[in-house]
Chain A
Amino acid sequence: MKKACRLGRQILNLYLFATITAVMLMSAKWPAKAERLADFVFNSSGLKADMSYSQYRALYQQAAEPTNEILAFEDLQGVDIAGEVGGQFAFHVSTSGLYCIYLEYMPLEGSGMSIEYALYLDGVLPFNEAEYLMLMRTYTNEKVDVSAAEGLLTADMARPKQQEVFRRTGVYLTDPTGMNKEPYHFYFEEGTHTLLLQTRMDSFKLYALTLRPYIQPKVYAQVYESYKDVAEARDVMIQIEGEDALYKSDFTLAPISDTSSSSTNPHDPKYRLYNAIGGTQYASVGQWLEWEFEIESEGLYCIAIKARQNVNSGLASGRKLLLDGKIPFAEAGKLSFTYSTDWKMTSLNSADEAYRFYFTPGKHTLKLEVCIGEGLNEILSQTALIMNDLSDIYRRVMVITGANPDTNRDYDFDRIIPDVIKEIGIQRDKLEKLYQTVRQNAGQNGENAQIFNRLYEQLRLMSEDNRRIASLLGAFRDNISSLGAWYTNALKQPLEIDYLLIFSPEKALPKANAGFLSEVGYGFEQFISTFGEETAPTVSGGGKTVKVWIGNNQSGGRDQAQVLRELISNGFEKESGIKVELELVSVGSLLPAVMAGSGPDIALTLSSAEPVNYAVRHAAMDLSGFPGFQEVAGRFHPSALTSLSFGGGVFGLPETESWYMMFYRSDILEQLGLELPETWEDVYNMLPVLQKNHMNFAMPAPLSDNAIGTGYYPFLMLLYQNGITIYNADGSSALLMEDAAVETFISWSKLYTEYELPINYDFPNRFRTGEFPIGIADYSMYNWINVFAPDLKGKWGIMLVPGTRQPDGSINRAVPALINSCMMLKNTKVPMEAWRFLEWWTRADTQTAYSRELESILGTAGRQPVANLQAMEKIAWYENDLMKLKAQLQFVFGVPEVPGSYFTSRHIDFAIKKVINQKKDPFDVLVDANEAINNELRSRRREFGLE
């Protein structure tokens, strides 16, 4: 017995020794290079608070409310706050208590999106939310010169460009999610304190920092009392068009065109008028629009807004009204616009009387800021908490049962996870209460609250009989994602504004909607006018014409064509005097058109393969000989040009370029105690832990239904990481029979046949539920997750993909470039003009403007992964994430296109499918694929006279 014990201890010692030595050896082998993942983790100078704002407030509930103001910092010239260095300020607080922080700042040029920053007090994050603070920018309509542009009858016919205005602005530090309506309160003990500001995205100039006690706005009755001596205005009706907003917080808040009703002011059956503002883009908390107007005589006025909220049924959109920068009274800080399919005239009034607003003669501003509707913030913050807890329950059950539990088995949950069972009961009760609140809040429209009821019912069944948990798990997961969708949707507070009215109280309000007959008449007129000539504003002139086609596919479409048209009219045509004929066509018609000699001079939004495909048939123009080509080519990462080059020529230019990044859920990995993998070895090592918990690593799926060639890019990634290329130097044969290629293919198939990686899945959804807490995906997924999973904020990140360790200790993290391209056709009669267009089109300014304009129409998810490197930096990224993207970019390689290369992706795809589906031997399969590919390459080369 003793002997056995000693032996055991010896084994243990030996084991410990081996582990320690291994760790030491490993760390010795890892040089402290910048490519160590740890170096990319943001070095926040402060400690985490691990306390939410509500906990923080509860902690300081008893704290005194001071009355004095403290100027913590002031500098008339302003100091730049940028990045991690940020700015640190020391100041003295004379009275302990809760203060609000008032910032005076001016945004510095950057991505054009809101500035994100973090605040540390005395070196510590006071509460978690202080890490995600926001400052808005200011934009205005660029003036449209009606006389200069032909075909414009009124200013409303042109969509004004949005121009950033740099001005000093003062704001209270508030919750950017809008859950807390009051500005953040910070507790300061008497004494000296330091305050550190760090920006996460973009930078700003700080002029002043003041600590102020919070003063609650007065209620209307009190304010009205003070107007006793002021007379009511008479016979005034000022109409301010919504689209004329002087300032706005986002470039996405450009005037929009509403042709749905004849009551929209102004309207025209034939022409497209930009006659309203807002809509679905005017929906996130903190966004604002500001109008300016002039009052002639002092007095009391009323305000009405003609607006429409036809997006979120059953929910009301909240707005905060500020006059000359201040909330006039408490009620004006919580206006609410209920759902309606038609325009509605909302007069600002209490239950019995219209509110009176006091104006002195002169210019005034009226600002409408998005805030979360009354009562909804409580519901939303609770929903967020519940969602979090439910996901946690789901994951903890899934760890035991897997995503598809055995319904016939009794898992004995009571015994294994009693705390989860208890938690289910707690959440059930919370949901029941929340369901009642939501129902009351939504009023007549109950459908909105159904998801709460469904989840409640489910939890009730689960807690009554925990054997049902297994059978309900799938539906439970679906309901959690439905709740997530509801939450994302309810956060949005969309509102479209036609016009605002400031009028004397005796005036009657006009009707918001035209009568039925008038609407029918308008519709008929619109229909008739479609037979007339299209009267898009165009610039005419004596110059040459370049014909440009934009493809109608995933990357092109009506919106893209319209945005491009405007950019061309306002930019290229004016600058060069060359006329552009832009046409939206289906991609398939390019070939027949070129064949018939009626093709364009330039084709946009093409796949990566097209330019070379046309080039080998002498149909694409070699761009490398044009003047200034070197400068243009230098705008891109070299990898973006690889697919477009052939035989020494460059036949196209990239429009977009994206590449793989690793996405991970920091919360789950932390729970599992997993580190981010540096190499594929690390991935193999983490798989058992993931899979034991019924989770998995998401590798770009080779088997997504339908899309052929999806397996090609992940294979290329692994291949290039092992140091070899897909083709030989002149592209005449594939190198699949090289030892390294065979090894790569075998280890790639093992990922599926032995390591059981998922082969067919929907990444964003599984990432959200946490089933795939880590995986590799195109970096454009970044926007998608940001927009559609706001509840995950702070719980996920991106990182460089795992790589292969090289003999010298460095790691090769090669990933393929995924690009879209444009090209010039060879039979163009205006090559120099066409080249000027391409040069203009690929400029950083043009690409940024294009991406932004698209974003203002399609929303953040429509953001372009622009290939122009300067433009890419201008588009909003967290500084930290941009750094990682750039680090990964160094490893991006271009995928060569050669005649016949469509066969390569096809056969690699067939090969991996044969291995996965039919359990064929990987080597045999690869031999066949290699032969098929090389035969095709050879016959194509013969056809094109390359051999």
Chain B
Amino acid sequence: MRAKSYAYWFMLPFTVIFTVFVIMPVVISIYYSFTSFDVLQPPRFIFLENYKQLFVQDEVFYIAFKNTLLFAMITGPLSYILSFLVAWVINEFSRWIRAVLTMVFYAPSLVNVFSVWKYIFSGDSYGVLNAYLLKLEMIQTPINWLSNPNYMFTIVIIVMLWSSFSTSFLTFIAGLQGMDTTLYEAAAVDGVHNRFQELWFITLPAMKEQLMFGAVMNIAGSFGIGALCSNLVGFPSTGYATHTIMNHLEDYGLIRYQMGYACAIAVVLFFLMVTMNAFTQKIISKLGK
């Protein structure tokens, strides 16, 4: 350890920043989660009161918890698989087409496009979807897509999937391009005779690091979902239909100024993410086996 002590000096800047901006806030919010803190007046220590209220009394938290899990379970894996498949297909094209397609798929996650979707799903009879459905006589009166709980959830998932080709997608493309082609030749000699076998036995195991990274990003993304919902269906969504833990946190932190309670929510979310991460790592390590 002493022999390589310079290595620690290299790590220092990052460690300091990481501690100040990641570890400290986590620790501080754990502390605040045991207090009643309305931001403007000094916090009051109440120990487990917040958690008690959160798990026992707060019905909306359960809605948010359920929604978050559902979003994470549906969009997380779906977008992960989609990202990979699209990356795999795109990788087959020549360089220029690949660059263009990558841009096309990646762009939605960069820009704020909610206004487009809001226009499409507008509840007005002149909203794009309503106008078409009315024209095709599928419906008689316009549907309030974004404020009717029957549709909101599905719509949020569609938009989420559409804009989910983000970091993990880029990582997959990079991983696929970094593949050692000699492996495929060797595999062909060894008896691999279709692309899916290639994918399963060679590509996926060789890309484990990228897959891991993508998974972590996706999970963090799916659990942290909130802004997308509130941009699309309003905050809070009608009848809390698409209320997520993140929304719940904002509701308490920014609207009701109950920072202690909001911190308790954040802590729960934090441990939820950590658990999910451990779980995914397990699954990924099984790849190709």
Contacts and interface: CB of A to CB of B under 8 A. Distances in A.
B122 interface: yes
A703 B147 CA distance: 7
B118 A617 contact: no
Nearest to B257: A617
A573 to B, nearest CB: 30
A906 B234 CA distance: 11
Contacts of A43: none
A617 B144 CA distance: 38
Interface in B223-251: 233-236, 238-239
Interface string A106-130: 0000000000000000000000000
A913 B39 contact: no
A749 to B, nearest CB: 15
Interface stretch (B74-82, B134-142, B173-181, B182-190): B134-142
A762 interface: yes
Contacts of B257: 591, 613, 617
A330 to B, nearest CB: 49
A708 interface: yes
Interface string A616-648: 011100000000000000000000000000000
A913 B238 contact: yes
B146 A705 contact: yes
A614 B40 contact: yes
Contact of A760 (B40, B122, B137, B239): B122
Nearest to A613: B257
A706 interface: yes
B144 A703 contact: yes
Contact of A594 (B40, B124, B125, B146): B40
Contact of A617 (B38, B124, B146, B234): B38
Given A910-B239, A913-B147, A913-B239, A617 B41 contact: yes
A222 interface: no
A588 B250 CA distance: 12
B123 A705 contact: yes
Interface residues of B, number: 33
A600 to B, nearest CB: 14
A877 interface: no
Interface string B111-149: 000000010011111100001001101000010101111
Nearest to B140: A404
Contacts of A588: 254
Interface string A897-919: 00000100010011001101110
Contacts of B89: none
A917 B152 CA distance: 12
A707 B144 contact: no
A618 B233 CA distance: 34
Contacts of A618: 40-41
A664 B108 CA distance: 43
Nearest to A706: B234
Contact of B125 (A403, A619, A917): A403
B144 A759 contact: yes
A595 B233 contact: no
A19 interface: no
Given A705-B123, A902-B256, A918 B150 contact: yes
Contacts of A902: 255-256
A918 B144 CA distance: 11
B227 to A, nearest CB: 13
Nearest to B146: A705
Contacts of B39: 591, 595, 617
Given A617-B39, A918-B149, A708 B234 contact: yes
Contact of A917 (B40, B135, B150, B234): B150
A917 B147 contact: yes
Given A705-B234, A917-B147, A404 B38 contact: no
Interface string B246-280: 00000000111100000000000000000000000
A706 B146 contact: yes
Contacts of A675: none
B234 A707 contact: yes
Nearest to A906: B236
A605 to B, nearest CB: 18
B123 A703 contact: yes
Contacts of A403: 125
Contacts of A910: 238-239
A619 B147 contact: no
A407 interface: yes
A761 interface: yes
A909 B239 CA distance: 9
Contact of A404 (B40, B134, B255): B134
Interface in A708-723: 708
B121 to A, nearest CB: 8
A705 B118 contact: yes
B147 A705 contact: yes
A917 B148 contact: yes
A296 interface: no
Query: Which has the most chain B C-beta neighbours within 10 Å: A407, A707, A760?
Result: A760
A845 interface: no
Nearest to A616: B38
Contacts of B236: 708, 906
A943 interface: yes
Contacts of A707: 234
A407 B125 contact: no
Given A404-B135, A407-B135, A708-B234, A918 B148 contact: yes
Given A703-B147, A902-B255, A914 B239 contact: yes
A760 B131 CA distance: 13
B234 A406 contact: no
A762 B119 CA distance: 12
B144 A917 contact: yes
B96 to A, nearest CB: 33
Given A588-B254, A617-B41, A760 B123 contact: yes
B265 to A, nearest CB: 16
Query: Which has the most chain A C-beta neighbours within 10 Å: B137, B147, B149, B233?
Result: B147
Contacts of A591: 39-40, 254, 257
A595 B147 contact: no
A916 B149 CA distance: 11
Interface in A672-707: 703, 705-707
A908 to B, nearest CB: 12
A762 B124 contact: yes
Interface in A382-396: none
A52 to B, nearest CB: 34
Interface in B175-207: none
Given A910-B238, A910-B239, A917 B124 contact: no
Interface string A493-536: 00000000000000000000000000000000000000000000
B128 to A, nearest CB: 12
A822 B239 CA distance: 32
Interface of B: 36, 38-41, 118, 121-126, 131, 134-135, 137, 142, 144, 146-150, 233-236, 238-239, 254-257
Interface of A: 403-404, 406-408, 474, 588, 591, 594-595, 613-614, 617-619, 703, 705-708, 759-762, 902, 906, 909-910, 913-914, 916-918, 943
Given A406-B137, A703-B144, 5 more contacts: A404-B135, A706-B146, A916-B144, A917-B147, A918-B149
27 contacts: A404-B131, A404-B134, A404-B135, A591-B40, A594-B40, A617-B39, A617-B41, A618-B41, A703-B144, A705-B123, A705-B147, A705-B233, A708-B235, A708-B236, A759-B144, A760-B122, A760-B144, A761-B124, A762-B124, A762-B126, A906-B236, A909-B238, A913-B148, A913-B238, A916-B144, A917-B238, A918-B148
A-B CB proximity, top 4 nearest: A760-B123, A617-B40, A917-B148, A706-B234
